[in-house]
A and B are shown apart, each in its own frame.
Chain A
Amino acid sequence: DAKTTQPPSMDCAEGRAANLPCNHSTISGNEYVYWYRQIHSQGPQYIIHGLKNNETNEMASLIITEDRKSSTLILPHATLRDTAVYYCIVRPITGRRALTFGSGTRLQVQP
């Protein structure tokens, strides 16, 4: 699976948008980009995923560059409860392969 690179940590002010970047320069055409987050002492929570088009749901927006080599997860109005480790993961479309977690980005939302 393609490797991803994320900044180790980020801060964001409460109420502001949090933009979390992810590089996946070796992504192949049959791999989705997934985002999960893990709040302390809990299992990872699915946020959003996409292939090549931008995606939006009730939690976040996912912006994927045209060359698909990077993406940005956007939390439009961060709250204190969004403080977590955010993981960007690429995974093939087909098959039953597990998700491989990197180190993620620790997002601290400041009051």
Chain B
Amino acid sequence: GAVVSQHPSWVICKSGTSVKIECRSLDFQATTMFWYRQFPKQSLMLMATSNEGSKATYEQGVEKDKFLINHASLTLSTLTVTSAHPEDSSFYICSASLSGNTIYFGEGSWLTVV
């Protein structure tokens, strides 16, 4: 079964509004989670590394004020897309390490900004 869960699976929001995506590790504690974005027919691109109890580390070119990440507990990280625009429409995916070095991914969240 799934070890990392995301919610919602899909969301439609109006341009200018904010939307929050949750990523939960199931039955294990994840001090580090990772957020990716994937556009159609492209590969996954790492956006940021979410660290429990500290600030997230963003990849070059990713606006930290636009993509707010909060990792307030060992089982939950959230990604908030602020002031969303149509170009933010994408497939957002989170991942976390269960044990050792294996990383598991959530089901992904489709965001459509209209």
Contact = CB atoms under 8 A, between A and B. Distances in A.
A46 B106 contact: no
A98 B93 contact: no
Please classify how large the interface on chain A is, using the bins under 10, 10 to 19, 20 to 34, 35 or more: 20 to 34
B49 A93 contact: no
Contact of B104 (A46, A49, A91): A46
B77 interface: no
Contacts of A7: none
Please classify how large the interface on chain B is, using the bins under 10, 10 to 19, 20 to 34, 35 or more: 20 to 34
B67 interface: no
Interface of B is mostly: strand
A83 B59 CA distance: 31
B23 to A, nearest CB: 10
B32 interface: yes
Contact of A98 (B49, B104, B110): B49
Interface in A81-107: 87, 91, 93, 96, 98-104
Given A96-B49, A98-B46, A98-B95, A41 B32 contact: no
